[in-house]
C-alpha cells in the first residue's frame, strides 16, 4: 500500500512539473498580446504576438502606394513601397519592401514611430537583440554574442522562420513570429532572394548605413549587418 501511495505522489509531482513547464514555454511566445490581439491599420488587419516581454506584429508591414523597384522613394508625404517583382500579390503575401529613410519617415531617431501605426514603433538594433536572445535556445538575452556582426546565435533564425514557403530547411516558427522569405530590393530595382531569405530593417543608424537582420534558408542562426539605406527590406512594428 505504501508503494502505491508513493507512486501516486510521484505521478502527481511529475504532472505539476510538466504543467509548470508548459506554462513557462507559453509565456515565451506564441500568444496574442494581452488586450491587443489584432491591429487594424490603413484597412489591413495585423495579428500580434507576445514574445517574452515584447509585443510584435506577426506579419510584415504592408502599407503605402506601390512604386516600381527601379525608382527611389522620396519625401513627398506619401508612404511608398516596393512589391517583389513589381507584383502587388507579393506585397499581399510577404508585405512591402521599404527603403530605410522612407520607413523612418525621414527621421533618424532610433525607435521612431515611422510608418508604423500610433502606439507602435520601428524596433531598434538593441530591441532586435532582445528578441533574438529570447528565441535562441542556447544564447540568452544579454549574451555578448548578440553584439557581433554576421550570423550569430544558435537557432534564433530557425525559431523565427515560418514552417512553409522556404526553399529548404523550413523553420520551427516556435514563437509564431512567422518570418516569410520575402526577398529584398537592391541595386536600382534588382529584386532577389525570394523563398531564400528575408531581411528586416532596424531603426538604428550605423555610420551612414543602418543595422538590419537576415533570416536565411539552410541557416539556423540569424544574421546582423548594416547596409545602405537605399535597399528595400521588410519591416516589423513593435508595441510601445
pLDDT in tens, 78-106: 999 999 999 999 999 999 999 999 999 99
Confidence tier at 28 by pLDDT (50, 70, 90)? low
Give burial (CB, 10 Å; 0-12/13-18/19+) of 209: middle
Task: Compute CA distances 8 → 3, 19, 22, 115, whole Å.
Answer: 9, 16, 21, 57
Helix (H) or strand (E) holding 36: none
Residues near 179 by Cβ (< 8 Å), separated by ≥ 6? 160, 161, 162, 171, 198, 200, 215
CA separation for the pair 68, 130 (Å, rounded): 35
By C-alpha distance, which of 218, 199, 202, 210 is closest to 84? 199
**Cell 500580434 sits at which residue?**
48
Quote the pLDDT of residue 5. 42
**Confidence category of residue 170, pLDDT binned at 50, 70, 90:** confident
Check whether 184 has a pLDDT greater than 50: yes
Return d(Cα 61, Cα 104) in angstroms, integer. 13
Residues 161 and 197: beta-carbon distance below 8 Å: no
Cα–Cα distance measured from residue 193 to residue 183, given in angstroms and rounded to the nearest whole number: 4
Q: How far apart are CA 137 and CA 155, in angstroms?
A: 7
CA distances from 223 to 33, 73, 128 (A): 26, 26, 11
Residue 152 CA to its chain's centroid (Å)? 15
pLDDT, residue 141, reads 82
Q: Which three cell numbers stand for residue 53?
A: 516581454
What is the per-residue burial (b if ≥16 Cβ within 10 Å, else e) of 121-140? bbbbbebbbbbbbbbbeebe
CA atoms within 13 A on the CB side of 165: 20
Q: What is the pLDDT of residues 116-142, one digit of tens each?
A: 999 999 999 999 999 999 999 999 888
Share of the chain above pLDDT 90, in %: 82
Tally Cβ neighbours within 10 Å of residue 58. 18
Q: What is the pLDDT of residues 204-239, one digit of tens each?
A: 999 999 999 999 999 999 999 999 999 999 999 999
Work out the average pLDDT over 191-208.
Answer: 96
Q: pLDDT at residue 193 above 90? A: yes
Amino acid at each position: 500500500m505504501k508503494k502505491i501511495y508513493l507512486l501516486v505522489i510521484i505521478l502527481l509531482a511529475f504532472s505539476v512539473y510538466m504543467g509548470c513547464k508548459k506554462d513557462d514555454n507559453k509565456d515565451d511566445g506564441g500568444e496574442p498580446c494581452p488586450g491587443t490581439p489584432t491591429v487594424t491599420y490603413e484597412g489591413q488587419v495585423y495579428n500580434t504576438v507576445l514574445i517574452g516581454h515584447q509585443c510584435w506584429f506577426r506579419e510584415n508591414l504592408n502599407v503605402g502606394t506601390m512604386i516600381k523597384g527601379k525608382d527611389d522613394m522620396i519625401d513627398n508625404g506619401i508612404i511608398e513601397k516596393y512589391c517583389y517583382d513589381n507584383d502587388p500579390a507579393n506585397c499581399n503575401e510577404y508585405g512591402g519592401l521599404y527603403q530605410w529613410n522612407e520607413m523612418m519617415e525621414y527621421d533618424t531617431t532610433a525607435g521612431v514611430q515611422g510608418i508604423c501605426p500610433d502606439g507602435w514603433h520601428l524596433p531598434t538594433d538593441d530591441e532586435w537583440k532582445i528578441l533574438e536572445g529570447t528565441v535562441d535556445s542556447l544564447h540568452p538575452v544579454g549574451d555578448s554574442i548578440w553584439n557581433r556582426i554576421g550570423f550569430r546565435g544558435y537557432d534564433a533564425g530557425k525559431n523565427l522562420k515560418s514552417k512553409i514557403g522556404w526553399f529548404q530547411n523550413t523553420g520551427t516558427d516556435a514563437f509564431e513570429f512567422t518570418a516569410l522569405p520575402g526577398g529584398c530590393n537592391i541595386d536600382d530595382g534588382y529584386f532577389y532572394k525570394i523563398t531564400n531569405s528575408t531581411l528586416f530593417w532596424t531603426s538604428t543608424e550605423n555610420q551612414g548605413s543602418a543595422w538590419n537582420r537576415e533570416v536565411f534558408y539552410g541557416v539556423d542562426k540569424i544574421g546582423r549587418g548594416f547596409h545602405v539605406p537605399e535597399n528595400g527590406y521588410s519591416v516589423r512594428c513593435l508595441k510601445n
